[in-house]
Amino acid sequence: YSDADRNARHVAMADEAVHIGPSAARESYLVADRIIDAARRTGAQAIHPGYGFLSENAGFADACAAAGNVFIGPPADSIRAMGSKSEAKKIMEKAKVPLVPGYHGDDQSPELLAAEAAKIGFPVLIKAAAGGGGKGMRVVESAEKFADALAGAKREAKASFADDHVLVEKYLTRPRHIEIQVFADASDCLYLFERDCSLQRRHQKVIEEAPAPGMDPARRKAMGEAAVAAAKAIGYRGAGTVEFIADQDGTFFFMEMNTRLQVEHPVTEAITGQDLVEWQLVVAAGGKMPLTQNELRIDGHAVEVRLYAEDPARNFLPSTGTLVHLKLPDEGAHVRVDTGVRQGDTVTPFYDPMIAKVIVHDRDRASAMRRMAVLMGETEVVGVTTNAGLLKG
């Protein structure tokens, strides 16, 4: 834990807690040596990197191995392969995974990029090759606006990732964002169906559901097999997510691969009845996945919402302060709540402002959505502004 987390819920719940530095993540949670030292001091054999910070850091995976710790995640080479969006596209092209029409080359001259954009056809999307979270991303509607958008995207990419390399892709105006949960052990790779993450704000997911509405068996199989091909192409192990964008006509294209467990994995757990973290531990220990592809089934429908300390009326700016009053939904047969805070805790500016994830599982989509709307209406947070009203709607 860092200085900011000294009184946090996860610290109180832990059997052992190790202080790793100041509040700023770059001085604590992002310092690999401090994490590895904490493992050494406590006698830990393995390190689970969670969802963020060092979870997709190949250097950290290498450092764990060098220190004799098992990194509960994919091989470092798999992380590196998917760490650059442009390199990932090249690998996927070789593996015959469908790609959005675009330019992913090394020549970054503005003239060439503008020419490639014109060849693709507007609107186009400029994306930071080393990016994520919407940083270094611009939608460009016309050739006249391309130069300014490119300069802005490169500036932001350089500031966020120390790398201003970008790629240019066709921008789909009404796409669906569908991701496939993949899992691999030393001898097999399978998919645990899909999640629809189309509802986002500022390129960050807000509501996720599984299975995707309107998904037919043939398309599910095609997307699942494409995701498995992507994972196999980089020698993947453990839990990962292959993200696709799907057009109105049923076509789909590879977008990126997240080489970690996703924040929204509980909806997959709900519809499959499987514990993906348990699967991670088993595979990291050298074991095999407990089920084969043909043994997996979909049961009902699950929805996850992310309750954030943020102000929808102010472009979703984070809201900080003390949680003077907090009433989250009660957990039960249909409801799961994942949270790291309690009443009285402080939402600081140092980390992600998510208060909780609320997951509902029911017999069908309509039932799950109705149940979620009721739960959000009953959620009470005083001390910070939240997006609960938006989630209820």
pLDDT tens, residue by residue, 103-131: 988 999 999 999 999 999 999 999 999 87
What's the pLDDT score for residue 173? Answer: 81
From the number of C-beta atoms within 10 Å of its C-beta (0-12, 13-18, 19+), residue 349 rates as exposed
What's the pLDDT score for residue 175? Answer: 85
The catalytic site residues sit at 260
- Residue 132 pLDDT > 90: no
What's the pLDDT score for residue 249? Answer: 79
Question: In angstroms, rounded to a whole number, what is the distance separating the alpha carbons of residues 21 and 34?
Answer: 8
Is the CB of residue 297 less than 8 Å from the CB of residue 197?
no
* Side chain identity at residue 141, one-letter code: E
What integer best gives the mean pLDDT of the chain?
94
**Quick one: pLDDT band at residue 216, thresholds 50, 70, 90?**
very high
Question: In angstroms, rounded to a whole number, what is the distance separating the alpha carbons of residues 18 and 174?
Answer: 47
Q: Quickly list DSSP for 96-113.
A: T--B-SEE--S---HHHH
Among residues 311, 330, 328, which one has the least CA distance to residue 379? Answer: 328
Which residues, 6 or more positions from 207, have their beta carbon under 8 angstroms from its beta carbon?
A: 197, 199, 303, 304, 305, 306, 391
Neighbouring-strand partners of residue 147: none
Q: Cis bond leading into 266, ω under 30°?
A: no
Q: Quickly list DSSP for 353-372.
A: -EEEEEEEEESSHHHHHHHH
- Residue 204 pLDDT > 90: no
- Residue 202 pLDDT > 70: no
More confident residue, 248 or 98: 98
- Residue 42 pLDDT > 80: yes
- Report the range of poorest mean pLDDT among 83-87, 157-161, 312-316, 327-331: 83-87
**Quick one: pLDDT band at residue 323, thresholds 50, 70, 90?**
very high
Among residues 66, 37, 25, which one has the least CA distance to residue 349? Answer: 25
Q: Cis bond leading into 211, ω under 30°?
A: yes
Provide the whole-model pTM.
Answer: 0.86
Tokens of 102: 């675009």
- Residue 248 pLDDT > 90: no
- Residue 203 pLDDT > 70: no
- Residue 361 pLDDT > 70: yes
Tokens of 203: 């390129």
Question: In angstroms, rounded to a whole number, what is the distance separating the alpha carbons of residues 172 and 382?
Answer: 39
- Residue 190 pLDDT > 80: yes
pLDDT tens, residue by residue, 50-80: 988 899 999 999 999 999 999 999 999 999 9
What's the pLDDT score for residue 83? Answer: 86
Question: In angstroms, rounded to a whole number, what is the distance separating the alpha carbons of residues 73 and 391?
Answer: 32
Question: In angstroms, rounded to a whole number, what is the distance separating the alpha carbons of residues 184 and 280?
Answer: 9
What is the phi/psi pair of residue 37, to 5°? -65, -35
Question: In angstroms, rounded to a whole number, what is the distance separating the alpha carbons of residues 342 and 326?
Answer: 7
pLDDT tens, residue by residue, 253-275: 998 899 999 999 999 999 999 99
Length of the chain in residues, anyone?
393
Helix H or strand E encompassing 283: helix 276-284
